[in-house]
């Protein structure tokens, strides 16, 4: 049953929470700006992937037929994010002494591996910009016919003065921003915010990636690919576009300008869902800066990638989330408790009681239907697992149903027993401590805990009783 009337999303386009109404009943098209594949994705980029995956999973659980498109940027994204500097792919390839395809291939594989590791569902379409040059040129030609483009020495540019709604999506104040470095100056541009549709190849320097076009040999501007590929796979008017909040001011603004002018639609995209940043204590982490923290870094330090997914679920996607050692460690502990409880309730067989489950299902759905409130939804999951009234069978049913949306793979995840240690002396002290707690001698229990802590031993409560490991 599709209950779309009661789903609400915060839409960047209107700056308000709106009831979700799909363009075509029962179907949803989602476009997500994907990676620029010249380096590994950092865990901030993973947050962006997870936000889109959560959206997708929730809409599927609501009965929608979802078509999800995530592009791969393997050409055209210049170092400055606007229209200046070298192409990130070209630069990385030259530095590594490899072809752009080799670099792209390697980081596409890594991106797919990371997405699988955090249990993101494969999108229906995962198109590469370099496989859609013809579509991009076609879109450019449509814009040219409409009189939106002009030629300067280094390329073909979109004239934003031809599109009065240019500032709408990101509520831009172009007067205030033009001098503030939002866009780099390129000689000959009519307005600072005008952007390249096609850049000419330098005739004196052969690029690794260049194509013929009606305007001359060169390569497409970065923004063009998302308009061209979304239209190819989702049509000229679709439901939801996602991406990190940083993309709204330039990339998404330019996508809207191109698409609305080329396709003659408004709005081109009904709902814009932007995830906030994962924050690293004030330091902007970026592939181009080289200070990247990846999922592999976390795994090397013993974290399960799904513990990072659990970490992600602790914050609403529209709130900044701060990544610290402590918060990751706390999430990892919560995640392993959850996995242990899941493994336990999975053992039980039999039929559940749908009436007993109903209020929890409603609470969970209400949390998710309110602009994907994952922290609240996770709290409902914990209420289920801590409930004194629900049977284990009901706990099992609810846990597995909720996890279809949360994506923690609780149907299969196994507790990592090896993370706990064993030693006859310490095991005996743990037993003594349990006995002390049993007879309510908390002073003695605390004394044993403190003595162990002074040896660097951490106690962990598990469903099978207390365990320990060296901190
Ligand atoms: P990129 O590969 O740099 O083009 O970025 C891919 C996606 O990750 C985009 O949607 C960005 O907006 C998003 N993104 C980049 N940095 C962060 C961050 N620290 N936190 C959350 N999302 C991010
Ligand atoms: Zn895009």
Confidence of residue 458 (pLDDT cuts 50, 70, 90): confident
| Model confidence pLDDT, tens digit, residues 240-273 | 999 999 999 999 999 999 999 999 999 999 999 9
How far is it, in rounded angstroms, from Cα 400 to Cα 342?
9
Would the CB of 47 count as within 6 Å of ligand 1? yes
Q: Are residues 267 and 288 both part of a single domain?
A: no
At 179 the pLDDT is: 41
Q: Is residue 412 part of a domain?
A: no
Q: Are residues 373 and 458 both part of a single domain?
A: no
Contact yes or no for 50/273 (Cβ under 8 A) = no
At 209 the pLDDT is: 86
Q: Are residues 168 and 297 both part of a single domain?
A: no
pLDDT (average), residues 406-427: 86
Instruction: Reply yes or no: is the peptide bond before residue 406 cis, omega within 30 of 0.
Output: no
Q: Are residues 267 and 387 both part of a single domain?
A: no
pLDDT (average), residues 164-176: 91
Average pLDDT of the residues of the chain: 91
Task: Give 343 or 82, the one with higher predicted confidence.
Answer: 343
| Model confidence pLDDT, tens digit, residues 128-152 | 999 999 999 999 999 999 999 999 9
3-class secondary-structure state, position 426: helix
Q: Are residues 159 and 267 both part of a single domain?
A: yes
pLDDT (average), residues 60-88: 84
Q: Are residues 11 and 85 both part of a single domain?
A: yes
pTM: 0.86
Least confident of 1-10, 216-225, 452-461: 1-10
Q: Is residue 418 part of a domain?
A: no
Q: Are residues 444 and 399 both part of a single domain?
A: no
Which residue range(s) make up the domain with 21? Answer: 4-275
87 φ, ψ to 5°?
-70, 130
| Model confidence pLDDT, tens digit, residues 371-393 | 999 999 999 999 999 999 999 99
How far is it, in rounded angstroms, from Cα 198 to Cα 372?
38
pLDDT (average), residues 348-360: 96
Least confident of 51-55, 288-292, 303-307: 288-292
Q: Is residue 354 part of a domain?
A: yes
In the chain, the largest separation of any two C-alpha atoms, in whole Å, equals 85
Q: How many Cα atoms occupy the beta-carbon half-sphere of 378 within 13 Å?
A: 20
Q: Is residue 186 part of a domain?
A: yes
Q: Are residues 286 and 262 both part of a single domain?
A: no
Distance 208 CA to ligand 1 centre (A): 25
Of all residues in the chain, the percent with pLDDT exceeding 70 is 92
The CATH code of the domain that includes 18 is 3.40.50.620
Q: Are residues 131 and 194 both part of a single domain?
A: yes
The domain boundary, picked from 236, 256, 275, lies at 275
Nearest ligand to the C-alpha atom of residue 225: 2
The domain boundary, picked from 223, 252, 275, lies at 275
pLDDT (average), residues 178-203: 79
Would the CB of 39 count as within 6 Å of ligand 1? no
Indicate the top mutation candidate among 41, 42, 45 to test ligand 1's pocket, ranked by most ligand atoms within 8 A of CB.
Answer: 45
Would the CB of 242 count as within 6 Å of ligand 1? no
Report the number of distinct structural domains present in the chain: 3
Q: Are residues 231 and 337 both part of a single domain?
A: no
Q: Are residues 239 and 149 both part of a single domain?
A: yes
């Amino acid at each position: 049953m599709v209950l779309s009337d009661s789903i609400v999303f915060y839409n960047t386009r209107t700056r308000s929470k709106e009831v979700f109404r799909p363009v075509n009943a029962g179907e949803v098209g989602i476009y997500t700006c994907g990676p620029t594949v010249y380096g590994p994705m950092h865990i901030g980029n993973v947050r962006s992937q997870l936000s889109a995956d959560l959206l997708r999973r929730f809409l599927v659980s609501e009965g929608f037929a979802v078509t999800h498109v995530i592009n791969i940027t393997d050409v055209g994204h210049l170092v400055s994010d606007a229209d200046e500097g070298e192409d990130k792919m070209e630069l990385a390839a030259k530095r590594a002494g490899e072809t752009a395809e080799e670099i792209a291939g390697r980081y596409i594989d890594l991106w797919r591996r990371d997405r699988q590791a955090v249990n993101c569902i494969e999108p229906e379409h995962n198109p590469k910009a370099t496989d859609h040059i013809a579509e991009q040129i076609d879109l450019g030609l449509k814009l040219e016919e409409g009189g939106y483009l002009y030629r300067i020495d280094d390329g073909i540019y979109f004239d934003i003065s031809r599109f009065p709604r240019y500032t709408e999506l990101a509520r831009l104040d172009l007067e205030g921003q033009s001098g503030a470095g939002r866009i780099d100056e390129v000689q000959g541009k009519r307005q600072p915010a005008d952007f390249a549709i096609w850049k000419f190849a330098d005739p004196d320097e052969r690029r690794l990636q260049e194509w013929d076009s009606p305007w001359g040999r060169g390569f497409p501007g970065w923004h063009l690919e998302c308009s061209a590929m979304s239209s190819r796979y989702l049509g000229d008017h679709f439901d939801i576009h996602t991406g990190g909040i940083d993309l709204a001011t330039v990339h998404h603004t330019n996508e809207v300008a191109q698409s609305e002018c080329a396709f003659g639609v408004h709005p081109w995209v009904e709902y814009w869902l932007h995830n906030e940043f994962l924050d690293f204590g004030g330091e902007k982490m970026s592939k181009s800066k080289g200070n990247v923290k990846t999922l592999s870094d976390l795994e090397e330090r013993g974290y399960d990638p799904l513990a990072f997914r659990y970490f992600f679920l602790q914050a609403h996607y529209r709130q900044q989330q701060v990544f610290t050692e402590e918060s990751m460690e706390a999430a990892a502990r919560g995640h392993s408790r959850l996995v242990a409880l899941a493994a336990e309730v999975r053992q039980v067989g039999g039929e559940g009681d749908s009436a007993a489950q109903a209020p929890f299902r409603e609470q969970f759905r209400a949390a998710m239907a309110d602009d994907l409130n994952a922290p609240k939804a996770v709290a409902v999951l914990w209420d289920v697992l801590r409930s004194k009234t629900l049977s284990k069978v009901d706990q099992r049913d609810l846990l597995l149903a909720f996890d279809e949306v949360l994506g923690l793979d609780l149907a299969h995840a196994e507790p990592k027993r090896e993370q706990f240690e064993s030693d006859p002396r310490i095991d005996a002290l743990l037993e003594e401590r349990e006995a002390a707690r049993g007879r309510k001698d908390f002073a003695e229990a605390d004394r044993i805990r403190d003595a162990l802590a002074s040896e660097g031993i951490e106690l962990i409560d598990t469903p099978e009783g207390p365990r320990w490991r060296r901190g």
